[in-house]
Amino acid sequence: MKPVPHPSMLRRAPVQRRSAERLTRILDACADLLDEVGYDALSTRAVAQRAGVPIGSVYRFFGNKRQMADALAQRNLERYAERVTERLKGARRGDWRAAMDAVLDEYLAMKRTAPGFSLVDFGNQIPVGSRQAEPNHRVADRLTDLLAEYLPREPDADLRRAFLIAVETADALVQLAFRVDPEGDEAIIGEMRVMLRAYLGRVLD
């Protein structure tokens, strides 16, 4: 079954498979409509119509469209973690540079292809243009844990801080790359990789 948001993100967590599948359809519809009409024009009624469910089914899980966008962001993070984990199966233990490339490549792939991702990614762009700190802390902690076995040292407070700085830096530069080119300017992305390797090398080599 596809990942669903953490129950704390929902008014009511799905219990049966049918309910979980309905939630998936609702979030898929939300993602598609975000790309088509943007966040301001998004409505719970339009999502219900696109998903082919009664409006009451949307309100069963979400009180408003902001909660729906937050749940989509959480699902994005779960799917991203799954993609990174799968990609790392081919990486050599201890090779943090290959692990870092996997982290960046999978994020860029979702940025380019995942519906709604350009607006909500992991939850830090709604309202459009806002940059809240909490999602990047969550992403940095998740990545530190995912990459632990590929790092030459045990994660501690200093390493977690370094990962947070790396995530914040990458976030800003990815936003720049996609402002310059809708598909992500490769020159800026290349410079970002060099910068992150140099910075993380100070704490990982």
CATH code of the domain in which 37 resides: 1.10.10.60
Residue 2 located in a structural domain: no
Q: Structural domain tally of the chain?
A: 2
C-alpha 79/C-alpha 77 separation (Å) is 5
Residue in the block written with tokens 């909490």 = 134
**84 & 155 share domain:** yes
pLDDT at residue 150, as a whole number: 86
Q: How confident is the model at residue 1 (pLDDT cuts 50, 70, 90)?
A: very low
Residue 116 located in a structural domain: yes
**114 & 189 share domain:** yes
Angle at 54 between CA 49 and CA 60, to 5 degrees: 115
Residue range 56-69: mean pLDDT, rounded:
91
C-alpha 1/C-alpha 200 separation (Å) is 35
Residue 1 located in a structural domain: no
Which of 8-22, 37-51, 99-113 has the least mean pLDDT? 8-22
Residue 127 located in a structural domain: yes
Q: How high is the mean pLDDT of the chain?
A: 87
Q: What are phi and psi of 149, to 5 degrees?
A: -75, -10
111 pLDDT exceeds 90? yes
Residue range of the domain that includes 16: 7-66
**52 & 119 share domain:** no
